Structure 1
C-alpha cells in the first residue's frame, strides 16, 4: 500500500488495514512504510497514465522528396485510444498554420485538457494564444527529452518504419495521399500492444465458423488485412 499510494501516510494505510481485518497499531504501520525524502510527487509516467483520457500530443517530422525538398508533417495524437486526430503536410510550418491545425483537430467542445508538445520554435505566440483560448493547458517537455512525448514519437517512428522508408515521395500531394492510406490502416487494421492488440477503432473478432480467410492489400501492398468472408 505504501508503494502504490505515494500520497498516503501511516494513518490512511492503518485505516485501510483495519477495514481489511488486520488488527495492527499505527506505530507498526509507520515502522514498515517506505521511507521517502521530501514531499512525494507523481512521476512523469504516472501523470501520463492518470490523465490518459484528457491528453493529446502534437509533434512534427520532416520528409525529403525525390527532388530533395523538405516537407513537414504534423501529427496530433489522442493518448486514450492512440488515435491520430489530425495530420497535415506543409512546406512552411508557421505558428499560424499550426494553430489552425489544432482548431481543425478539436472542433466545438472536443478539446483535451492537456496538449503535450516539445520546445520547437515553430510553436510561436499565435499558437500559444489559440491553445489558451480553447481552454487547453500546454505541457512542454524538457529540452532534448523526446521520451517525455513518447506516444506520438512512437507513432512517427511507426510511420517511417512501416511506410515512408519504403516509398519515394514526389511532392506534397503524393505525401498526403500516402499518409492518408497509412492512417486508415493504422486506425482500422493495425493491432497495438498498448490496446491489448486491438485497433484504435475497435476491430471485432470473427469466429472461425464465419467463413474462409481473405487477404486485403493496404498501404500500396506494404501491409495486408485479413478477414473472414461470410459463406
Structure 2
C-alpha cells in the first residue's frame, strides 16, 4: 500500500461505517490509486481498531465497485482507467434517462435543481464546478423517488469519479457552454413537465452525458 495514505484514529461508534468512509474518501480523492493494495492489518493499526471492521468495510467497498480482491485474499483499489468510461457512461445514461422519464410521468417538481445550476455559475474552481455538476445529476435521480435506483447510481457515480481521478477532466468543463448545456436540460425538463412529451428531452440528456464523458460513439442517439 502506498506510504502516502494517512488514516486517522476513529471513534467507537459504527467502526465499519467510519472505516468504509475513510477508505472510500482516500480512494476518491486520489490518495489511494487504482491498483494500490489495501492490507487490512496495516489499515486497522493506523485506525486504532481491530481488523474485523476494516475487513467488513473493504467487503462493502467491493460490492459498490471501488475495490477488488487481489492475491492471497487481500484487497486492492479497483484497477480502472479511461477505457472503462464508455461502459460507465452507458450505464449512467440508462439510470438518468429512467429518472427523467419518471419525473415527467409523475409530474414531479424540479425547482430544487436550480440551486445546483446557480452553484455551477458561481464556481471558482474546477472542483466546485464538478461538485455542482455531480449534485445536479444526482438530484435528478433522487427526484425519481426510487431508493434502489439512487443507491445504484451512487455506486456508479463513485466508479466514474475513480476513473476520472486518473484521467484529465473533459476539456469543456466549467466553460460557459458547459453551464449552458445544464440550463438547456433544465428548460427542456420543465417544458416536458408542461406538455408531457419527452423525446427531445431524452435525446438531449443522452447526448449531454455521453459528450461529457467523451463517449459519444458508445450509443446510437435516439431519434
Q: Shorter-chain TM-score category?
A: under 0.3
TM-score, normalised by the number of residues in structure 2: 0.25
User: Which of the pair has the greater relative contact order for Cα pairs under 8 Å at 6+ separation?
Assistant: 2
Bigger radius of gyration among the two:
1
Structure with the higher fraction of residues in strand conformation: 1
